[in-house]
Structure 1
């Protein structure tokens, strides 16, 4: 699932079209959107454990992409 999520965000946020700086900015927004605590709050605090597992996976992929993009932009 993680590779599919990664491919979705790379393609959906158009890394090749917008460049690394804009891609990192978009990923930053997605990190906030998919943060497990934020999602639990949005869903009323009672979230099925399997759904939370998926949300956490999505967040981890987005976070890793964001960190990789920032390192590449700086380094």
Structure 2
């Protein structure tokens, strides 16, 4: 388990039906509602970041485009 110093405590309000869905998913995954929320937030943040290989591919594509127009 991570140290408490590695975490920030933050209180939010969510609709009851959303929290109920989180609790149900947490039960299925055998973890706490908090752990379920952290897992989902982490997954959302990680998936929104382009991977290095994706960025390198875009740069290579842009380089080719520049070479073709020069």
TM-score normalized with structure 1 length? 0.31
Q: Looking at secondary structure, tell me which structure has more helix per residue.
A: 1
**Whose Rg is larger?**
2
Higher relative contact order (CA 8 A, sep 6+): 1
